Amino acid sequence: MWGWIYWRVDIGSRIATGKGIFDFKLPDGASPTIYDYFLVSFTSLISSTLNGFSGKTRTARTLIFVHGVMMWDAMGLMLSRAIALVSS
């Protein structure tokens, strides 16, 4: 879901202003595709950093922050549920 949100917000910004709100660095210098946004979103599940992906604006940095908070919250809920199942 977050890959789609990142893509829609960045594409909307590119259409409105001519430049995206995310600083997205691809190794070959190409412009990012929707697959790249989904890949960044997925790799944030297993990595603590988003290499090559950051926000240029406050809105972009806030989206990345909210995504991180939601991931930590989901992991905490799963861990607490697992502990509850083991202890019962």
Name residue, tokens 């590119």: 14
C-alpha span between 21 and 9 (Å, rounded)? 8
Average pLDDT over residues 69-74: 88
Question: Would you state the pLDDT for residue 77?
Answer: 95
The whole-model pTM stands at: 0.70
C-alpha span between 31 and 24 (Å, rounded)? 8
Weakest-pLDDT range from 12-16, 38-42, 46-50 = 46-50
Average pLDDT over residues 48-59: 76
C-alpha span between 76 and 73 (Å, rounded)? 5
Weakest-pLDDT range from 18-22, 27-31, 76-80 = 27-31
> Going along 8-88, which residue ranges are E strands?
22-24, 53-55
